[in-house]
Structure 1
Amino acid sequence: MTTSLADRIDALLPQTQCEQCGYHGCRPYAEAIANGEADINQCPPGGSAGIAALAELLGRPPLPLNPENGEEKPRTLARIIEADCIGCTKCIQVCPVDAIVGANKLMHTVIDDDCTGCERCVPACPVDCIVLEPMPLKQATDVAYADRARKHFQRREARLAAQQAQREAELTARKAQMHGAGQNVFDALARAKAKKQEPKT
């Protein structure tokens, strides 16, 4: 199987799916770089090492990280202070890799092995019960960990797309049903009006 340029770029990205690059996940950013639509210095989690790897792959000079996309800092993992969690599910809704488990009005928790440290859950939490802790260096540099994060993201995206398609299909069916019901009422009124206008014998 031939590996595309976007595939090779994507393989060098950290798979945090944090969107700091300005794209909805690492893969769209990789495709934008491959198509010449984005520069190689827009990924804060990848940092200078990631930029250097992309520069080498593409035969370009390395660039400093674009400050508009954020700043380079050590990778982190999210942790929920469970005693303070109100079970609102807002963090679950924004986690790009399904690393947070819980249910409405029940305590949530983060699966450390799945968390990418994207930090998207932090601003989503209305009670500030999510803290960031250092990610073990082995985890931050593990290619298998990044690959797993990519698969989790793809699986979540597919699930959300299927749910959206189902909602749209249900809405279309309801509209058709309402239109049919409206047509039936219109036909009934037309019949009643026609009957009224019939000459009496």
Structure 2
Amino acid sequence: MLAATLILAAIGGLMGAGLGWAARVFAVSSDNPLLAEIERSMPGSQCGQCGFPGCSAAAAALAEGKVAPTCCPPGGMALAERLAQLLDVPLEGGQMPAPLLASIEAEQCTGCTRCYRACPTDAIVGANGQIHAVLHNACTGCGKCLEACPEGCVSLAAQAPTLDTWHWGKPQAA
């Protein structure tokens, strides 16, 4: 028993050392440190609300100046301010679209689990033949559940402002 434990520990140590060596030798360095910093700042939910297939593509477009810093609704105003600071551009208007959240009409839901299987963030809970519900903390508003639902009981609506997403507007001159 002791010999098997020692052998498994040695194998684990050797494999860990091998993976550490491979990570250093085969590391891909970024040519653009600004792009890497923007990508680290993004939420990483790959929701597509910005119009790009993922946060990496959105970060590349931001670094090239093709989109405004307010392009990411799930990131909120805090992310927009951070991106504007990184890119050294002013925030134009200071307004962003509200993040979208999915909701399911319980009366129409038959529990087919198609929306559950389509959700990339596991924000939909339920089982086969049961009514499903959306966990709003995990929902990114990507709309994949909307496309997958055959009954049409899933809808996307703007998220109500919270303390994290609400932003005081600039006062207007009299």
Give the TM bin, normalised by the shorter chain: 0.5 to 0.7
Letter in 2 for 1:118: C
Q: Which residue of 1 aligns with 2:99?
A: 75
Distance 2:80 2:137 in 1: 25
CA displacement, residues 59-91 of structure 1 (integer Å, 9 cap, x when unaligned): 2344579xxxxx943234322222321223332
TM-score by length of 2: 0.54
Q: Which residue of 1 aligns with 2:125?
A: 101
Q: Extract unaligned runs of 5+ from structure 2.
A: 1-29, 167-174
Pick aligned residue for 1:39 from 39, 42, 67: 67
Q: Which residue of 2 aligns with 1:26?
A: 55
Letter in 1 for 2:53: H
Q: Number of matched residues? A: 134
Query: Which structure shows the higher helix fraction?
Result: 1
Q: Which residue of 1 aligns with 2:162?
A: 137
Q: Name the CA shift for 1:120/1:136 in 2 (closer, same or farther; >3 Å).
A: farther
Letter in 1 for 2:113: T
Letter in 2 for 1:10: E
Distance 1:42 1:90 in 2: 32
The answer as to whether partners of 1:21 and 1:29 remain within 8 angstroms in 2 is yes
Q: Name the CA shift for 1:94/1:56 in 2 (closer, same or farther; >3 Å).
A: same
Aligned residues with identical type, % of pairs: 39
TM-score by length of 1: 0.48
Q: Report the RMSD for the aligned CA atoms in angstroms.
A: 3.8
Pick aligned residue for 2:141 from 117, 121, 137: 117
The answer as to whether partners of 2:69 and 2:84 remain within 8 angstroms in 1 is no
